[in-house]
Amino acid sequence: MHLKRYMALYAALWKNSVVREMSFKGNFILWIIVELLWFGLQLCFIGVVFSQTHSVGTWSQWQMVLLVGASNFIQQVYQAFFLVNCTNLSELVRTGKMDFLLLLPINARFIVSLRQVDLGAFINALFAVAVMGYAAVQLHLHPTLLQLVGFTALCVVGILIHYTLMFMLAAISFWTVRAQGIVYGYYNLFNIARMPDDAFRGAFKAVFTFALPVLLVSNLPVRVLADKMTSLSSVLSLIALCLAWALLSEWFWRLSLRRYTSASS
């Protein structure tokens, strides 16, 4: 019963997002073009790198293209569902609109996290899938159903990790009121995910593999597709990190709500 209720509510949120996007069609199309140009620049960067070398660590040129495509796919799907909502949390706190959301007879985190949907990001995600498909053809890859399921599952885990981390950072706004800079600072770290993990060493690799696992999030799904997996330990680590960050994020969210004193206080 509760699931049906939340599904109906989420369908209404989608409808509102479509109406909002279609009210500003020019802005909708412009942002799609901007994102595609940025994606194209990333692919051009790979061409520049491989004009000077034949590999980056153990990664070939087309494996790098596959990695950039997967990274962009994960980023765009995350952006479609969560980015706008996470960045808007500080505005809800600052303007007092959080009061109205907390009074609704639904889970507050659900409505805060999923109020808006960025429809343009889905279109950009499809372009990323097309680039991945082309790279797979160049690599003569023939992924099995199990590999495709594993890739999809790891992408979902990666998106959830990004969400829990960014939502927790956004919740700092209950203390600082404005936290967009912190949230976008983490979002900019997504750029690291486009690089092969073999390109990093030492403390830097450890931090961005285990503390902020942006390298694992994109590298592991691609390793599954490209038959570059050497052990399951990294997969188990990613799942464990997802669970750990999810629990910590929920605890911090509840702690943050206790901090909130409403706009009228």
Reference 74, options 179, 208, 215, 244; nearest CA is 215
Percent of the chain with pLDDT strictly greater than 70: 96
pLDDT band at 76 (very low <50, low <70, confident <90, very high): very high
126 Cβ partners below 8 Å, 6+ apart? none
What is the mean predicted confidence (pLDDT) over 139-158?
A: 92
Q: Give dist(CA 223, CA 121) in Å, integer.
A: 24
For the stretch 23-71, pLDDT in tens is 777 777 888 888 889 889 888 988 888 888 888 878 889 999 999 999 9
Contact predicate 256/171, CB 8 Å: yes
The confidence band for 246, taking pLDDT boundaries of 50, 70 and 90, is very high
Q: Are 217 and 161 in contact (CB under 8 A)?
A: yes
pLDDT band for 179, please (50, 70, 90 cuts). Answer: low
Residue 3, exposed/middle/buried by CB under 10 A (0-12, 13-18, 19+)?
A: exposed
The count of residues in the chain is 265
DSSP helix/strand/coil, 56:
strand
Neighbours of 115 (CB within 10 A): 16
Contact 87, 250 (CB under 8 A): no
Q: Is the pLDDT of residue 154 over 90?
A: yes
**pTM for this structure?**
0.89
